[in-house]
Structure 1
Amino acid sequence: MNRKVRTLTIAFAFLTGAVAAQEVKDDFKPSIFNQSGQLYPQVNSQGYARFKIKAPMADSVRVSLGLGGSGGTILARDADGFFIGTTAGPMDEGFHYYHVMVDNGMFNDPGALNFYGSTRWESGIEIPAQDRDFYALKDVPHGQVSQVLFPSKSTGITRRAFVYTPPDYEKDMKKHYPVLYLQHGWGEDETAWSNQGFANLIMDNLIAHGEIKPFIIVMTYGMTNEIKWGGIRNFKIDSFQTVLVNELIPYVDSHFRTLPDQLSRAMAGLSMGGMETKKIALANPGVFSYYGLLSGGTFAPDDLKTDQQKPKLVFLSCGSKENPANVKKAADELKTAGFNAVSYVSPGTAHEFLTWRRSLKAMAPLLFR
């Protein structure tokens, strides 16, 4: 995933040495992604983040949000050996990766949980969104996210996937379900959509409110991280296409109560996972009927030129800080050409997980109708 586009480019500074654009409210609370019992990092109602790191022998400590480690919030030492500092401005709502630079070393924040992103386990912080209710943990029936290990003859190893099954999956053993194959972005893996994306909670809440037809979600590693940053154009889809189409889908159909046909199968992905979705969908016109590109490019009418290729839905989305005009234009051109195309733009977000959480919420009710 292109984190240079997604990640904030705000220049951070320690507030005691900078003039804040607004008065910072002293209503800081621990982030929801803190480790148990840890008070820092903290966020306030305006979206500022505050960090506190114990490093008594260090000369300098700063917190870097995003890829590359440049810039960051410079922390100042106190008398007890802690370094503390607050971002110079509010951050975008939603989830952010970050790490701590202690002198010349890069570390994770011991107060925060870790998430796989940027091809490594990074610390994570959540700035509460105004509309966070749709992915909140609520007192509703919950589905299960289970780990499955499936054989892959093409790669010579046993591979892993995570499978979300709806709350009623274990109750009606005669019921079969459609399936969404949902891909992560570059630098992430098969844990991303559950851990950073709250996909299971989004599904639970939509099902509880009767807004969607329950379906299974399958999340597996897209084999994208073998490509170094900046070399995305060199990514070859063939190996992952074989794993997904020839190995994982048959495994899922034989081990879960699926509806194993094209009309009951969707594929979607965020960022590079959207690129994978487009390439695999076009190369395998009889496999999926619903396509979703979440900050992952667009389709043109000429891409979908055969009767066999005509999907039931093309869903295109992005954040308002990305390329919304291109997404809307592409959807309009598909509609004019006779395709069922829907565009969605997440307000106030860029190439980040709040964009994709909202996109999943908008796309899910349109699937398998």
Structure 2
Amino acid sequence: MRTKVLLVALFAAVCCTQMAAQPFAKETFPEGSYSPVTNVNRNGYPRVLKDGSVMFRVNAPEAQKVQIDLCGTKYDMTRDERGTWRVTTRPQVPGFHYYFLLIDGVSVADPASQSFYGCSRWSSAIEIKEDGCADFEVQDVPRGEVRTVYYYSKVDEAYRPLMIYTPAGYNESTQQYPVVYIQHGGGEDHRGWMEQGRTAQIMDNLIAAGKAVPMIVVSANSNVQARSGGFGGGYSWQGMQNFRNELIDNVIPFIEKNYRVKADRKYRAMCGLSMGGGQSFYIGLRSPQVFANVGVFSTGMFGGIQGASNFDLEKEVPGMLSDVQGFNKNLDVFFITCGEQDPRISHTRNIVKKMQDAGIQVRFAAYPGDHEWQPWRKSLHQFAQYLFK
């Protein structure tokens, strides 16, 4: 009975917030503010101000306490006599940020926002504009397609989804294309790169400008568990085995059977962010017969996260330091990135310096931002321009 009462109360509180997705009559917004593209109602809230701070407004007359949880900071909202709650946050860095409503202590998605799968749940999000990032937007250029297809996984013993970007002209042409296998981070899935990461917009604009060759991009769900048991999860070579088997034995054969691709290591790349960066490091670098191009974005395995310390390059990738010439010969592109405000940045810089001092041919870039999508979009944007040339 107690559980039932709690559920009814939560349902009532959340329903009250649904008015937040509706337009507010005769609303006057601050000059220079804008409605982010992540809003459901482009004339409503949240509202981004000129300095990057965000105005939130929520109708929840039955709630006792309402907060906004944005980028790990909780902001207390103030209630007026009509039951409307308001708050303005401090200025936010540009990019894509998950956020939540906290209604009487319960975290829920904001119905005023579109929902995205992140943080291991469906989440609200807000997009803060950044100057100079037109390549992340839809432009008047030939556009490719993103499709969701299903393949059979012998690891999971079930059909599993892939999201696949094919460049403009793919359907009409007979040519073969190189392929990038791109991996999401922890708490996300195959939708992350295509939705939050804006892969199609980035690739369309780069290809149209002649900055990248036409290529296919495949995003798999790496949250896979082997029905037969075995290793799965964790920043270690053993922990990567389930997904390594999934990718090499199931995903790549499916793509090469069903799409016009160049089935050669020189025309395959693997990259990923955070957890996906770790997968790309281990699987990509330890599978030179499969991949000649590897991108590692914001991984925590070098340090900056709990449990990561004293990373031994030679132990984790045999031959990396003891046979530098052979290691370099196996790779056309090796690229590492991290956000400048990411706790992983100093550890990443240190490991890159160790690689470069040893003679490893690795490119490195850092971008403004924390552990978030804007640096990852920039990472893909730069990585794609290096590939298959």
Q: Output the TM-score relative to the length of structure 2.
A: 0.81
**For 2:243, what is the secondary structure of its paired residue?**
helix
1:159 corresponds to which residue? Answer: 160
Task: Decide whether aligned partners of structure 1 residues 354 and 55 sit closer, same or farther in structure 2, where only a CA change above 3 A counts.
Answer: same
Q: CA deviation at 1:233?
A: 4.9
Q: 2:272 matched to which residue of 1?
A: 269
Pair 1:45 & 2:46 matched: no
Using the alignment, how far apart are the partners of 1:224 and 1:95 within structure 2? 26
> Residues 311 and 353 from structure 1, CA distance in 2 versus in 1: closer, same or farther, beyond 3 angstroms?
same
Distance between the aligned counterparts of 1:257 and 1:339, measured in 2?
33
Give unpaired runs (5+ residues) of structure 1.
1-24
The separation in 2 between residues aligned to 1:224 and 1:124, in whole angstroms, is: 26
AA aligned opposite 1:269: G
**What is the distance in 2 between the residues matched to 1:336 and 1:118?**
37
Shift of 1:300: 7.6
In structure 1, C-alpha distance between the alignment counterparts of 2:234 and 2:91, rounded to whole Å = 31
Which runs of structure 2 are paired with 1:262-341 in the superposition (5 Å)?
262-296=265-299, 297=301, 302=314, 303=317, 304=320, 307=326, 310-322=330-342, 323-341=344-362
Q: Find the aligned partners of 2:358 and 2:384 in 1 and give their Cα distance.
A: 24
Describe the shift of the 1:224–1:120 C-alpha distance in structure 2 as closer, same or farther (beyond 3 A). Answer: farther
| CA-to-aligned-CA distance 1:49-78 (integer Å, 9 cap, x gap) | 1111110111111100246xxx41111112
1:359 aligns with 2:362: no
Deviation sequence 1:160-192 (CA, Å, 0-9, x none): 01000111212212x101100000000001111
3-state secondary structure, aligned to 2:239: coil
Contact 2:293-2:332 at 8 Å conserved across structures: yes
Q: How big is each residue's C-alpha offset from its partner over 1:338-364, in whole Å with a ceiling of 9 and x where there is no partner? A: 4432101103x1111000011111111
The answer as to whether partners of 1:301 and 1:337 remain within 8 angstroms in 2 is no
Specify the structure having the higher radius of gyration (Cα).
2
Q: Deviations over 1:206-228 (max 9, x none)?
A: 111110111110001111799xx
Aligned-partner Cα distance in 2 for 1:195–1:259: 26
Superposition pairs of residues 113-128 of structure 1, within 5 angstroms: 113-128=114-129
- Measured in 2, the distance between the counterparts of 1:199 and 1:240 equals 22
1:368 to partner: Cα distance:
1.0
Q: CA, structure 1 residues 224+122, in 2 after alignment: closer, same or farther (shift >3 Å)?
A: farther
Query: Which of 365, 368, 377 does residue 344 from structure 1 map onto?
Result: 365
**Do the aligned residues in 2 keep the contact of 1:162 with 1:190 (CA within 8 Å)?**
yes
Tell me the distance in 2 between the aligned counterparts of 1:300 and 1:364. Answer: 28
Alignment of 1:1-369 (within 5 A): 26-37=31-42, 39-66=44-71, 71-87=73-89, 89-173=90-174, 175-223=175-223, 232-233=234-235, 236-296=239-299, 297=301, 302=314, 303=317, 304=320, 307=326, 310-322=330-342, 323-347=344-368, 349-369=369-389
- 8 Å Cα contact 1:186-1:225 kept in structure 2: no
CA distance in 1 between counterparts of 2:108 and 2:346 reads 39
> Structure 1 residues 202, 225: CA separation in 2 closer, same or farther (over 3 Å shift)?
farther
Q: Distance in 2 between matches of 1:195 and 1:343?
A: 25
The separation in 2 between residues aligned to 1:343 and 1:283, in whole angstroms, is 20
Contact 2:155–2:225 (CA under 8 A) maintained in structure 1: no
Asked if structure 2 preserves the Cα contact closer than 8 Å seen for 1:101 and 1:107, the reply is: yes
Aligned sequence identity (%): 33
Structure 2: where are the runs of 5+ without partners? Answer: 1-29, 227-232, 303-310
> Matches of 2:84 and 2:193 in 1, distance apart?
34
Whether the aligned pair in 2 keeps the contact of 1:274 and 1:295 (CA below 8 Å) is yes
Shift of residue 328, structure 1, vs aligned partner: 4.2
Task: Say whether the 8 Å CA contact 2:69–2:102 is kept in structure 1.
Answer: yes
Q: Deviations over 1:299-335 (max 9, x none)?
A: 9874335637721111000011134454445444444
Does the CA contact (< 8 Å) of 1:311 and 1:339 recur in 2? no
The number of aligned residues is 336
Quick check: 2:92–2:128 contact (8 Å CA) kept in 1?
A: yes
Asked if the contact 2:285–2:294 (Cα under 8 Å) also holds between the matched residues in 1, the reply is no
- Do the aligned residues in 2 keep the contact of 1:262 with 1:288 (CA within 8 Å)? yes
Q: Partners of 1:262 and 1:34 in 2: how far apart? A: 42
Alignment deviations for residues 103-132 of structure 1 (CA, whole Å, 9 cap, x no partner) = 122211111001111100000001111222
